[in-house]
Amino acid sequence: MILFQNVLKIFFTMVMSSLNKLKNAVILIDGSSFIYRAYFAIPGYLATTKGFPTKAIFGVTQMVLKILKEWDPEYIIWFMDEKEPTFRHEIFENYKATRPKMPDDLKIQIPYIKTIISALGIPVLSYPGYEGDDLIASFIKNIVKPSDFSAIIVAGDKDLYSLIDEKISIYDPVREKFLNLDIFLKKYQFPPQVFPEFRALTGDPSDNIPGVPGIGEKTAKELLIKFKNLENLYQNIQNLSSSKLRENLLKYKAQVLNNLTLLTLNFSAPLPSFDLFYYKKKEPDYLTLRKIFKELEFRKLLSEIKYTPPEFKPVLIEGKDVSQLPEKDYLSLLPLQNQGFIFALAQISEIAVAFSEKEAYKLSANHLKNLIQKFNKTEFILHDYKNFLKLFDFSLNKVFDTKLASYLLNPSLKKYDLEFLLQEYLDISLGSFKTSKNEEFAIKTCGLFLLGKELMNCIKEEGLKEWLEKVEIPLSEVLFEMEKRGFKIDLEYV
């Protein structure tokens, strides 16, 4: 028992230590490499039903949401490269020259990615003439090091290895692995700060930086373990036993030193502020995220973001003579039906109507015809016009059916009931309200009003307005009459 308690204590201490480490860590994301990795990590082709490519957007967003959810960082910054050449291109004309051009279907996704990252409340940093890696280096030197914070760099390549120390580690989101100082020293056996010198010897094919012929990672590692750095290596080059190695190092010395300049991070890259508080994560812009996720058909991601609708507290007013109200352009109408009855057979004694998203009015169903006569030029927003006809057995002059409209817009939805559509289009969920019956009626009726206005715009944008009005709505009346009257069956033929 004592042993078990000790194990639990050790485990708890490890968990709390890990949580505290993340709590006091600044998250620095190498956005440019992040985008490429997300683009190539997802197999196949991902696009909207209209053909717009979304693979990189989806991959990036999914990985960032995972970081936000699991780490809940107070400070998280996204760093990007700019299009303009950097000082490295001035030093070496062929710097990154062999890299393939960014695919066109990736290029058009970049603006969406930047918008989503900003909408998540994450600052986006870039500066012409500097790579995102330089900005990260400058951020660590000028902001993280003087503070009590540590930093976790989210990146998948080796360009930032030289920044690793007791306070700085690197996290690979694809492999889900951390690289800290202990792991680095165990693998390379020289300090991370020497890593640019290691790469100056081996070269970096991804950036089109040539290495010294005959020197691979193993030889470069042995040289730096023995001589500590390039300066000491060249000062003691006569001590090398291999004449060929000595010859190549001397022959390509200028190239090696040039490589070192290219591979050394710029710790003086400009930043908008040297105050850490400036980079504090902001509250996400859920409306923007919702709009983009809907446009890009990211239904899975929509369900993963928290969202509380703006102030939506409609009230239900009883006993008011709505016939005294001025005529409006739109009116939502909802039959108030007792639970436990089949919809078509339920006895409807009351209805609720709304002229806005703020107030709904409860009326006796006996007043419905008078209401329709009073508002004969008003467009009635209903959910399921055919069932309305079943309940009241008379048609309306101008109708907008949210159930039919939502089906025309997306025939592949799982369901089309009012509560689902309020959640799908407006993020209004009855489950998030502690409701009485009257509150529920107010939310549904005013929500139906908002839903109708939202779907009207969508139907118009998709060019479906005429089809809805001239085909679907009249067809509902025809189907109702068919169901009402029935039809004869030839029993002998059947």
Residue 208 near residue 98, CB atoms below 8 Å = yes
Question: What CATH superfamily is the domain 17-192+271-279?
Answer: 5'-nuclease (3.40.50.1010)
- Inter-residue contact 166 to 181 (CB < 8 Å): yes
Distance CA 356, CA 84 (A): 51
Please identify which residue in the block is written with the tokens 């991902």: 46
Interval 384-433: pLDDT, tens: 999 998 888 888 889 999 999 999 999 988 889 998 898 888 878 666 55
Find out whether 191 and 255 touch, Cβ atoms under 8 Å.
no
Amino acid at 287: L
pLDDT at 391: 87
| Owner of token pair 């859920």 | 286
Question: Is residue 15 predicted with pLDDT exceeding 50?
Answer: no
Lowest mean pLDDT among 10-24, 281-295, 451-465: 10-24
DSSP conformation class of 141: I
361 forms beta bridges with 317, 353
β-strand pairing of 75-79 with 25-30: parallel
- pLDDT per position as a tens digit, 21-33: 566 899 999 999 9
**8 Å CB contact between 300 and 60:** no
Location of each CATH 3.30.420.10 domain in the chain:
315-485
Which is nearest to 381 in space by CA: 332, 323, 315, 443? 332
* H-run or E-run covering 225: helix 217-227
Task: Decide the pairing of beta strands 150-154 and 399-401.
Answer: unpaired
Q: Are 245 and 214 in contact (CB under 8 A)?
A: yes
Pairing of strands 359-364, 315-318: parallel
Query: For residue 251, is pLDDT > 60?
Result: yes
110 CB burial (10 A radius; 0-12, 13-18, 19+): middle
Please name the fold of domain 315-485: Nucleotidyltransferase; domain 5 (3.30.420)
Q: Which of 28-32, 40-44, 161-165, 451-455 has the lowest mean pLDDT?
A: 40-44
Average pLDDT over residues 78-97: 80
Question: If you average pLDDT over each of 326-340, 354-368, 433-447, which comes out highest?
Answer: 354-368
Query: Where does 42-131 have alpha helices with state H?
Result: 55-71, 87-91, 104-107, 110-119
Report the sign of the C-alpha dihedral through residues 88, 163, 212, 206, in that order. negative
CA distance 443 to 44: 43
Angle at the Cα of 317 (from 316 to 319), degrees rounded to 5? 145
Cα separation, 133 vs 204, in Å, equals: 16
For residue 5, pLDDT over 70 is answered with no
Q: Mean per-residue pLDDT for 449-459?
A: 93
Residues 182 and 171: their CA atoms lie apart, in Å, by 14
- The pLDDT assigned to 345 comes to 41
Q: Strands 330-336, 168-172: parallel, antiparallel or unpaired by DSSP?
A: unpaired
Q: What is the pLDDT of residues 204-248, one digit of tens each?
A: 888 888 899 999 999 999 999 999 999 999 999 999 989 999 999
Share of the chain above pLDDT 70, in %: 89
Which residue matches tokens 């890009």?
296
Q: Which two tokens stand for residue 412?
A: 């592949």
- What is the distance, to the nearest Å, from the Cα of residue 377 to the centroid of all Cα atoms in its chain? 43
Intra-chain end-to-end CA distance of the chain, in Å: 77
Is residue 116 scored above 60 in pLDDT? yes
Count how many residues are written for the chain: 494
* Cβ contact 380:327 at 8 Å: no
State how beta strands 315-318 and 177-179 pair. Answer: unpaired
For the CA atoms of the chain, what is the radius of gyration?
33
Span 277-297, average pLDDT: 90
In the chain, which segments carry CATH 3.40.50.1010? 17-192+271-279
**Is the per-residue pLDDT at 266 higher than 90?**
yes
Cα torsion angle, 188, 192, 197, 202, sign: positive
Mean predicted confidence (pLDDT) in 285-301: 86
* Whole-number pLDDT of residue 435: 63
Q: Which residues pair with 172 in a beta bridge?
A: 177
pLDDT band at 157 (very low <50, low <70, confident <90, very high): confident
Burial group, residue 16, by CB count within 10 angstroms (0-12, 13-18, 19+) = exposed
- 462-477 mean pLDDT: 93
- pLDDT score for 47: 92
Q: What is the pLDDT of residues 311-334, one digit of tens each?
A: 678 889 988 878 778 888 899 999
In whole angstroms, what is the distance from residue 101 CA to residue 213 CA? Answer: 28
- Residue type at position 321: D
The single residue listed with the structure tokens 């080796």 is: 158
Whether 154 and 177 have beta carbons less than 8 Å apart is answered as no
Q: The pTM is what?
A: 0.67
pLDDT band of residue 339 (cuts 50, 70, 90) is very low
Task: Quote the distance between the C-alpha of residue 91 and its chain's center.
Answer: 38
